[in-house]
Amino acid sequence: MLSRREFLGALPLALSAQPLRRPNILFILTDDQTIHDMSCYGNRILNTPHMDRIAREGARFNNCFVTNSLCAPSRASILTGCYSHIHGIRGNSEAADAVEKMTPGIVTYPELLRNAGYRTAMIGKWHLSHDPVGFDHWCILPGQGVYFDPEFIENGVRKKFKGYATDLTTDFALDFLKTATAEKDKPFLMVYQHKAPHRPFTPATRHAHMFDDVEVPYPKTFNDNYQSRKVAEESRDMQFDLSIAGDYKDIPAGLGAAEKRSGCISAS
């Protein structure tokens, strides 16, 4: 029987005898989707079987926190592994002339994987002020993008497509996967990021009436007065009824606070 010291000494030789298989990597990101919007976290109205399978066969976090939950800073932190004050993106900054830009010299994980021989692709919502870096192929929504008949920027060329953003993003991702899996000479990374379910909440036509007969309960924070959270009280972006009102032009003007809140919920 080998001792522990002998086993550890022999391990490098055993590993070097067989080439290590480098895994393919598929990174999926949805936008503004909370854990409460998945059946694997207990939602009894929404059915999310594919997300449930990932949760069941992988790892599911019950306690996970971020230091800056805004869209662009979060995306920059995912790419770099750095805090906002390190990578330079502290707020949403999708415009090309945005003041906040990625700190020069910050390395992203797609760059490292590409340098290590991976085939890399970025598909879907990007929401950063600079073009994707470290990707052999990229096809992104400009800024927030739109749901119906959106434009995409494919490797620097802007193109308009007929259809729904979620369907198109998925089709583009599948096109890349078919090519990447057929060419077995190198592993791949695909960053696959949806616009949905970010506001304005505009479903595909086939789903427009899916919940007409379902009574959706109000969230526990529906009547929150923000008294214990001064920042939220002072920020329009953190108050749902105030921040979303401009997205739906059919909400009548002159409503009181309670009516406006209910109107926004109904419109969404």
Predicted pLDDT of residue 23: 94
The segment with the largest mean pLDDT, out of 2-16, 59-73, 231-245, 252-266, is 59-73
Cα–Cα distances in Å, from 196 out to 31, 34, 148, 200, 246?
Answer: 6, 12, 12, 9, 18
pLDDT > 90? residue 21:
no
User: Does 15 reside within a domain?
Assistant: no
Dump pLDDT digits (tens) for 50-106: 999 999 999 999 988 888 888 899 999 999 999 999 999 988 866 666 667 889 999
pLDDT of 1 strictly over 80: no
Is the pLDDT confidence value at 264 over 80? no
Q: Which residue of the set 87, 127, 137, 194 is catalytic?
A: 127
The total of structural domains in the chain comes to 2
pLDDT band at 141 (very low <50, low <70, confident <90, very high): very high
Of 10-24, 36-50, 238-252, 254-268, the range with the highest mean pLDDT is: 36-50
Could you tell me the residue range of the domain that residue 251 belongs to? 219-267
- 109 and 178 assigned to the same domain: yes
pLDDT at residue 2, rounded to an integer: 60
Q: Picking from 181-190, 219-228, 251-260, which range would have the lowest pLDDT averaged per residue? A: 251-260
Do 135 and 245 belong to one domain? no
The catalytically annotated residue of 36, 40, 50, 71 is: 71
Q: Is pLDDT of 130 > 60?
A: yes
Q: Is residue 132 part of a domain?
A: yes
Do 98 and 156 lie in one domain? The reply is: yes
Q: Are residues 148 and 188 in the same domain?
A: yes
Confidence of residue 186 (pLDDT cuts 50, 70, 90): very high
Displacement of CA 171 from its chain's centroid (Å):
17
Of 150, 122, 127, 124, which is closest to residue 138 (Cα–Cα)? 122
Residues 263, 168 share a domain? no
Lowest-pLDDT range of 84-93, 153-162, 176-185, 253-262: 253-262
Map residue 206 onto helix, strand or coil: helix
Residues 199 and 223 reside in one and the same domain: no
Residue ending a domain, among 169, 203, 237, is 203
Q: What is the mean pLDDT of residues 136-141?
A: 98
pLDDT at 228 (0 to 100) = 78
Token pair listed for 223: 């009547």
* 148 and 238 both lie in a single domain: no
Residues 262 and 185 in one domain: no
Annotation marks residue 71 as catalytic:
yes
Taking the whole predicted model, whether its pTM rises above 0.95 is answered as no
| Residues 195 and 233 placed together within one structural domain of the fold | no
Q: Which of these ranges, 137-151, 158-172, 208-222, has the smallest mean pLDDT?
A: 208-222
Q: Which residue has the higher pLDDT, 9 or 20?
A: 20
CATH of the domain at 179: 3.40.720.10
Q: Are residue 232 and residue 133 in the same domain, yes or no? A: no
Closest CA to 234 of 245, 223, 242: 242
More confident residue, 81 or 260: 81
pLDDT of residue 256: 73
pLDDT band at 3 (very low <50, low <70, confident <90, very high): low
Does 190 lie in the same domain as 74? yes
With a cut of 60, say whether residue 268 has pLDDT above it. no
H helical segments located in the chain: 4-17, 49-57, 71-80, 84-87, 109-115, 165-182, 230-234, 240-244, 257-267
For the cut 60, the answer to whether the pLDDT of residue 190 exceeds it is yes
Residues 196 and 246 in one domain: no
C-alpha torsion 152→154→158→161, nearest 10: -40
Residue 131 lies inside a defined structural domain of this protein: yes
Domain for residue 208, yes or no?
A: no
Q: Is residue 240 part of a domain?
A: yes
